[in-house]
Amino acid sequence: MQAPNAAKNRSVGQVAPQTAVFDAALALKSGAVLPGFTLVYETYGALNAARSNAVLVCHALSGNHHVAGFHDAARRKETLGWWDNLVGPGKPLDTRRFFVVGVNNLGGCHGSSGPMSINPETNRPYGADFPLVTVEDWVAAQARLADYLGIETWAAVIGGSLGGMQALQWTLEYPQRARHGIVIASTPRLSAQNIAFNEVARQAILSDPDFHGGHYYEYDPADRHAAVKPRNGLRLARMVGHITYLSDDQLAEKFGRRMRHGKHRFNYEVEFEIESYLRHQGDKFAEVFDANSYLLATKALDYFDPAFDYAGDLRAALARAKAGFFVASFTTDWRFTPEKSREIVYALLHNGLNVSYAEIDCDAGHDSFLLDAPHYHAALTAYLQGITL
């Protein structure tokens, strides 16, 4: 066990995002072409002379490039990276050993080209005209960033959930450029239930009167604090999404039927604490995230299906992979169940690949991948330490 102070000292410290601009056009899977694009990214640790120690961290639905450290020392907690418990000196993804890169994906809302960017054809924000992007497109854009950074081969590409899909896709699209794929709490494809929840989220946003066909930025008043956005749709989308990230057990333990006022009040205000929590999560997210980016990310999730071009045969789809793999799932994850991770593991094993698989007993549901359940980080640490540089 690390004392809290020791953990604090293991931070990568204050970090700042960087920007890479790519002038060459990028042909997307949809057939659309981006004439050029920008990626915002962060790096932690140092690239070694052999350029063999770089690790790419891919983010999930609501993540971004800010993986570790903090942006503002005065607001350290509020500006902490989303996977800071994993990345830093002495942490599982040890920045004393690895050069770690976080990147905001295309279509995002944290600085990379996306719906909030200016469309060169109209000189106005793309809005809904930003093309739909896929996991394959993200990986292609990330490969451009690797070129830009002088990284021919990643020691590993790692991600959880939608990030895990990108890690897997890297090993398929660029089998020579990713020596290890680390796929956590992910799935080889969304189930009908997964798509259904995404569809509810999309419909909540698309039907919000403030969506304005995806061009809501144009309705902004001069006072940008009153920005027009489909706040309510995004709030509902996040609420329903959030329920699926957590386990029934964990909600029972954290909230159960605990009441705000100790008794029934017979109105539509908060009665049960779970209602308050959910509203707060929704409100918070609606302020900081962009609805068009959210829509795009849910579609990228739906579309991901490497076996699609192989008549559903995942084993055949993964035959291209050459990497070593670490796959992890969580027992209470009902969004992407351990069964889905096992599908990936079996398909990889049938292709004669080296696969480490950990099924972690953790009560936190899908979001377990963001936490530091002891066995989870221990298994990941061991795997990462075994990677030769």
Q: Choose which of 187, 235, 330, 368 interacts with a copy of itself (CB under 8 A).
A: 235
Between 122 and 193, CB nearer to a copy of itself: 193
Residue 333 a catalytic site member: yes
Q: How far is the CB of 202 from a copy of itself (least distance, A)?
A: 6
Q: How far is the CB of 353 from a copy of itself (least distance, A)?
A: 25
Phi/psi region, residue 292 (left: phi>0; alpha: psi -120 to 50; beta: rest), is alpha
Query: Which residue's structure tokens are 């990379």?
Result: 112
The 3-class SS string of the chain reads: CCCHHHHHHCCCCECCCEEEEECCCEECCCCCEECCEEEEEEEECCCCCCCCCEEEEECCCCCCCCCCCECCHHHCCCCECCCCCCEECCCCEECCCCEEEEECCCCCCCCCCCCCCEECCCCEECHHHCCCCCHHHHHHHHHHHHHHHCCCCECEEEEECHHHHHHHHHHHHCCCCECEEEEECCCCCCCHHHHHHHHHHHHHHHCCHHHHHHCHHHHCCCCHHHCCCCHHHHHHHHHHHHHHHCCHHHHHHHCCCCECCCCCCCCCCCCEHHHHHHHHHHHHHHHHCCHHHHHHHHHHHHHCCHHHHHCCCHHHHHHHCCCEEEEEEECCCCCCCHHHHHHHHHHHHHCCCCEEEEEECCCCHHHHHHCCCHHHHHHHHHHHHCCCC
Is 132 an interacting residue with respect to a copy of itself (CB under 8 A)? yes
Query: Binding segment for a copy of itself among 48-56, 117-125, 177-185, 193-201 (CB under 8 A)?
Result: 193-201
Identify the active-site residue in 112, 333, 367, 368: 333
Is 129 an interacting residue with respect to a copy of itself (CB under 8 A)? no
Q: How far is the CB of 9 from a copy of itself (least distance, A)?
A: 37
Site for a copy of itself in 245-304 (CB under 8 A): 246, 248, 251-252, 254-257, 264, 266-268, 271-272, 274-275, 278-279, 282, 295, 299, 302-303
Q: Choose which of 236, 297, 301, 328 interacts with a copy of itself (CB under 8 A).
A: 236
Q: How far is the CB of 189 from a copy of itself (least distance, A)?
A: 6
Query: Binding segment for a copy of itself among 162-170, 177-185, 204-212, 321-329 (CB under 8 A)?
Result: 204-212
Q: Name residue 34's amino acid.
A: L
Between 62 and 64, CB nearer to a copy of itself: 62
Residue 66 a catalytic site member: no
Question: Considering Cα of 195, then 200, then 205, then 206, what sign does the dihedral take?
Answer: positive
Q: How far is the CB of 72 from a copy of itself (least distance, A)?
A: 32
Is 310 an interacting residue with respect to a copy of itself (CB under 8 A)? no
Identify the active-site residue in 137, 366, 367, 368: 366
Q: Which of 143, 154, 112 has the alpha carbon at shortest distance from 297? A: 112
Site for a copy of itself in 205-224 (CB under 8 A): 206-207, 209
Q: Choose which of 5, 16, 31, 120 interacts with a copy of itself (CB under 8 A).
A: 31
Question: Considering Cα of 182, then 187, then 189, then 190, what sign does the dihedral take?
Answer: negative
Query: Binding segment for a copy of itself among 156-164, 240-248, 348-356, 370-378 (CB under 8 A)?
Result: 240-248
Is 193 an interacting residue with respect to a copy of itself (CB under 8 A)? yes
Cα–Cα distance for residue pair 296/202, rounded to 1 Å: 9
Q: How far is the CB of 170 from a copy of itself (least distance, A)?
A: 21
Q: How far is the CB of 132 from a copy of itself (least distance, A)?
A: 4
Between 18 and 119, CB nearer to a copy of itself: 119
Cα–Cα distance for residue pair 317/310, rounded to 1 Å: 6
Is 311 an interacting residue with respect to a copy of itself (CB under 8 A)? no
Residue 161 a catalytic site member: yes
Is 316 an interacting residue with respect to a copy of itself (CB under 8 A)? no
Applying CB under 8 A, which residues contact a copy of itself? Answer: 29-32, 131-132, 189-193, 195-197, 199-200, 202-204, 206-207, 209, 232, 235-236, 239-240, 243, 246, 248, 251-252, 254-257, 264, 266-268, 271-272, 274-275, 278-279, 282, 295, 299, 302-303, 305, 334
